[in-house]
Amino acid sequence: MASKTAYKRLTKEYKHIQEEPPPYITAHPLESNILEWVYLIDGPPDTPYTGGQYWGTLVFPPDYPFKPPAIRMMTPSGRFQTSTRLCLSISDFHPKSFNPAWEVSTILTGLLSFMTSEEMTTGSISATPAQRKQLAAMSRWWNSTGGGTSTGGGGKIGFGDGGARFRTDWPEVDRDNWQWMRDHKINPQNGRVIAASTPIHTKSEATDMKEEQVAERIAVAERASQNWFSRNKIMIATAVIVAWVAIGRVFQHDVTAS
C-alpha cells in the first residue's frame, strides 16, 4: 500500500505527465494500484527502434520518492530482456543514487536515453541494428497477441498470454494495433504479411482458424500413424479377388484343353 506521501506524489505526477508528456512516451498508473504504472515508448526516429511500440512497467515502493521503482520492458526490443528488472541508476538496483526530485517523466526519459545507447547492464542484451529493426516492425503485433500464442509463456507477462495483459493496460492502443494489422495484412498467428489471396481474420476468427488447423494436424497424424495394411486394406482385398479369379480361369482353361 502506498504511503500518503507516495500517493500524493504519484497523483501529482500522473496529472503532470498527462499535461506535458515527454517525447515518445505515454504512461499511467493502474486503476487498482497507484504504485504500478505501465508505459509505452514509441521508437524515436533515426534509431533501430523507429516505428516500434515498447510496453513496460514501473513498480514503485510504498515509500516513493525516497526509493526508485523497478523497471521492466515487456516488448522484445533487441536491447532489453523481456519482463526482467533493469539495472539502471534510476531503478531499484541503485536506491542510494536515486534523487527524490526525479519524477516518472524523468525516469522514463532516462530509460529511453539508455535504450538508444549501447551501454550494457543487468537486463540488457546485444543485437544488430537489423535485428532491432525487425523486432520494431513486429512490436505492435507482439504486444496485441502476446507473441502470437494463447498458452504457455513461463509466467512472463505478455509472452504467451494472447495479448490479454496488454489489452487490459492499453485497450485503445490494442484496438488500434488490430486495425493496423488488418490494414497491413499481418497474420495474427505469426506476425508475417498475409499473401494477397489469403483473407484477413479478426481475433476470434484467428482463434477458430488455429483450432481448425490443430484438428486437421491431429487427423493427419492419426492417418499417418496407421500401418500401410490398415490404410490400404480395400485395395489389397480387391487385388486378391482379381488374382484369384485370374488363376481360376487359367486352371479351367488347362482342364478344358486336356
Q: Which of 59, 67, 70, 87 is catalytic?
A: 87
Omega within 30 of 0 (cis) for the link into 65: yes
**What burial letters (b/e) apply to 225-246, b meaning 16+ CB within 10 Å?**
eeeeeeeeeeeeeeeeeeeeee
Residues 6+ apart with CB under 8 A from 42: 24, 25, 52, 53, 54
Where residue 251 falls (left for φ over 0; alpha for ψ -120 to 50; beta otherwise) is alpha
Q: Which residues pair with 21 in a beta bridge?
A: none
Nearest to 179 by CA among 131, 140, 207: 140
Q: State the cell numbers at 157.
A: 507477462
CA pair distance 142, 215, nearest whole angstrom: 25
Query: Is residue 249 annotated as a catalytic residue, yes or no?
Result: no
Number of Cβ within a 10 Å radius of residue 94: 12
Nearest to 182 by CA among 206, 205, 201: 201
171: Cα separation from own chain's centroid: 16
26: Cα separation from own chain's centroid: 20
Residue position matching grid coordinates 480395400 = 234
Active-site positions?
A: 87
